[in-house]
């Protein structure tokens, strides 16, 4: 398997530090607001990565943290007249609600920053002890950026360029404008913990270094997050961790791309901020997940209603094929008609292609191409009046069913019963398009009665009325079925 390593800016063969075992840390949310589609993308990307590594037989220990003490959390708590832990708890619970619907597996460890204050303080002490950090008169602790020669190696930034124009703000006691806070002295209205440097709270960057070292050991194999974390957060993590341990902190840095809304970068200031719950009001959670895995994780992702509509159509096509295969396999009698030998070869190539795509830097977009290839193959076999009855066709269809279950487990999709999902999707589309499902059901029933009574003029008129509502009706041996066009 190959992964793109942000540190080397290239794909590299993935080989964990301890053969067969993977230590993986991903930066989680700062718990001060509802999760948005950017959080959804990052969560899905690393969920799929964990699933794929485990599918390959690797023993993965996955740690994803919660930042539950931060300037934004404190600001919201003060505005509401509550404590920071009340705000953090509220949005951590909201995170779980949103991500559970999205099919995100729980991490093996989900530490909160406030649970590791002592570890953070000890890490800061080590850095002071070896000259990489210093205390100020007011009780702050800063990391000496210039004491770490490799600073900037992840982001590709030059320290002299960063230094140019940088200034120490009034009231700060930094030795250098580039130095960053490891510990912040207590201020009125903020949560506070005791430490060797006096009362205060940790800086943001320190928490991930302390928790990953405590829970995973050094070096960790994979450190993940969004591209926005490369600088300064991950750059600072590297500096403080490697300065403390005197060795490598992480072997592979994996970052997912940005989300854009209608081709613009998502931003609250631009008013194009979309929460996961906004999306759930209009689309099924699995549609959102399918949309997210339809693009390569490092590429920018353009979110729009049109893009979600296309994802919904693709997912419906796969589930419809699953339902058709279920129905086809209920046949009681099979012929001994032989399939052309290239049919099995075609499926084998699709299976190999899916595995190769996932091994090639988690190329889920390419992998889905092989999923649709298998769906097309199943469709050709079921539509051929001769081959549809072949016992060998039944064997191929069962194999495709097994593939879809296996591939879906890896991608986190296709896990619902096909008929149940298609009904839920129909209801979701009808609600979004303002279609009254009860009225449609009544019209379909009336049309069926008209057909029984051979009142074909009325039957056709109802069909036209339904078409005007955006509804199609299919007459099947089991009775009429309707769907949103």
Mean pLDDT of 261-280: 82
Residue 164 has pLDDT above 80, yes or no: no
The class (CATH top level) of 305-420 is mainly alpha
**Are residues 47 and 225 in contact, defined by beta-carbon separation less than 8 angstroms?**
no
pLDDT single digits (tens) 118-139: 999 999 999 999 999 999 999 9
Residue 478 has pLDDT above 80, yes or no: no
What is residue 102's predicted lDDT score, i.e. its pLDDT? 98
Specify the pTM.
Answer: 0.94
Q: What percent of the chain has pLDDT over 90?
A: 89
Does the structure show a pLDDT above 90 at 270? no
pLDDT confidence tier of residue 477, bands split at 50, 70 and 90? confident
pLDDT at 165: 63
Alpha-carbon gap, residue 134 to 117, rounded angstroms: 18
Give 196 or 163, the one with higher predicted confidence: 196
Per-residue DSSP letters for 265-289? Answer: E--TTTT---BHHHHHTTS-HHHHH
DSSP percent split of the chain into helix, strand, coil, nearest 5: 50, 15, 30
- pLDDT value of position 313: 97
Is it the case that residue 269 has pLDDT exceeding 70? Answer: no
Residue linked to tokens 């889905």: 368
Looking at residue 123, its pLDDT comes to 98
**What mean pLDDT do residues 48-56 have?**
98
Q: Which band of pLDDT confidence, cut at 50, 70 and 90, is reported for residue 263?
A: confident
So what's the pLDDT on residue 171? 67
Distances (CA, A) of 134 to 124, 162, 202, 241: 9, 21, 14, 16
pLDDT of residue 223: 98
* pLDDT, mean over the chain: 95
The reported pLDDT for the residue numbered 308 is 97
Rounded Cα distance between 20 and 285, Å, is: 33
77-97: average pLDDT: 97
Binned at pLDDT 50, 70 and 90, residue 361 comes out as very high
Q: CA geometry: angle at 180 spanning 176 and 185, to 5°?
A: 105
Domain ranges of the chain: 2-276, 305-420, 433-484
Confidence of residue 170 (pLDDT cuts 50, 70, 90): low
pLDDT for residue 474: 85
d(C-alpha 269, C-alpha 203), whole Å: 25
pLDDT band at 391, cuts 50/70/90?
very high
Phi then psi for residue 185, to 5 deg, are -60, 150
Strand partners, 30: 67
| Cα separation, 478 vs 186, whole angstroms | 71
- Within 8 A by CB and 6+ apart from 365, the residues are 293, 294, 295, 296
Tell me the pLDDT band of 317, cut-offs 50, 70 and 90: very high
- Alpha-carbon distance of 288 to 308, in angstroms, equals 7
pLDDT-based confidence at residue 331 (cuts at 50, 70, 90): confident
Where is 170: in which H helix or E strand? none
**Which one is the CATH code of 2-276: 3.40.50.620, 3.40.50.1390, 2.70.180.20, 3.40.309.10?**
3.40.50.620
Quick check: helix, strand or coil at residue 471? strand
In the predicted model, is pLDDT for residue 304 greater than 80?
yes
Predicted confidence band of residue 475 (pLDDT cuts 50, 70, 90): confident
CA distance 60 to 21: 6
Largest CA distance in the chain: 94
Interacting residues of 417 by C-beta distance below 8 A, sequence separation 6+: none
CA-CA distances (angstroms) from residue 380 to 63, 344, 384? 44, 13, 6
């Amino acid at each position: 398997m190959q992964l793109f390593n942000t540190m080397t800016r290239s794909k590299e063969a993935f080989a964990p530090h301890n053969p067969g075992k993977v230590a993986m840390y991903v930066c989680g949310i700062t718990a001060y607001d509802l999760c948005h589609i950017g959080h959804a993308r990052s969560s899905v990307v690393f969920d799929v990565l964990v699933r794929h590594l485990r599918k390959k037989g690797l023993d993965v220990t996955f740690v994803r943290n919660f930042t539950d003490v931060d300037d934004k959390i404190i600001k919201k708590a003060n505005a509401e007249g509550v404590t920071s832990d009340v705000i953090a708890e509220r949005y951590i619970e909201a995170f779980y609600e949103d991500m559970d619907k999205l099919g995100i597996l729980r991490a093996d460890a989900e530490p909160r920053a406030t649970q590791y204050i002592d570890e953070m303080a000890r890490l800061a002490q080590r850095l002071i002890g070896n000259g990489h950090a210093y205390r100020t008169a007011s009780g702050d602790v800063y990391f000496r950026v210039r004491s770490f020669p490799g600073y900037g190696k992840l982001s590709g930034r030059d320290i002299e360029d960063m230094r140019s124009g940088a200034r120490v703000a009034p009231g700060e006691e930094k030795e250098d404008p580039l130095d960053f806070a490891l510990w912040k002295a207590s201020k009125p209205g903020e949560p506070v913990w005791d430490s060797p440097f006096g009362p205060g709270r940790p800086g943001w960057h320190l928490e991930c270094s302390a928790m990953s070292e405590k829970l995973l050991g050094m070096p960790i194999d994979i450190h993940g997050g969004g591209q926005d974390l490369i600088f300064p957060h991950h750059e600072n993590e590297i500096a403080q961790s490697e300065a403390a341990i005197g060795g490598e902190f992480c072997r592979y840095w994996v970052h997912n791309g940005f989300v854009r809304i209608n081709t613009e970068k998502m931003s609250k200031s631009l008013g194009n901020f979309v929460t996961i719950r906004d999306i759930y009001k209009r689309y099924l959670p699995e549609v959102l997940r399918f949309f997210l895995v339809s693009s390569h994780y490092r590429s920018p992702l353009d979110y729009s209603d049109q893009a979600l509509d296309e994802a919904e159509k693709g997912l419906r096509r796969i589930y419809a094929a699953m339902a058709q295969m279920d129905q086809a396999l209920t046949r009681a009698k099979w012929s001994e008609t032989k399939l052309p030998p290239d049919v099995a070869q075609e499926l084998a190539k699709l299976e190999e292609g899916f595995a190769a795509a996932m091994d090639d830097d988690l190329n889920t977009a390419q992998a889905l191409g092989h999923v649709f290839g298998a769906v097309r193959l199943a469709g050709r076999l079921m539509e051929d009046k001769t081959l549809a009855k072949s016992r060998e066709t039944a064997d191929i269809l069962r194999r495709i069913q097994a593939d879809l279950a296996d591939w879906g487990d890896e991608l986190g999709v296709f896990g619902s019963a096909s008929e149940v999902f298609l009904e839920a999707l129909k209801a979701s589309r009808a609600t979004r398009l303002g279609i009254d499902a009860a009225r449609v059901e009544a019209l379909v029933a009336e049309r069926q009665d008209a057909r029984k009574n051979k009142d074909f003029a009325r039957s056709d008129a109802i069909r036209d009325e339904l078409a005007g509502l955006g509804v199609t009706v299919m007459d099947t041996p089991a009775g009429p079925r309707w769907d949103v066009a």
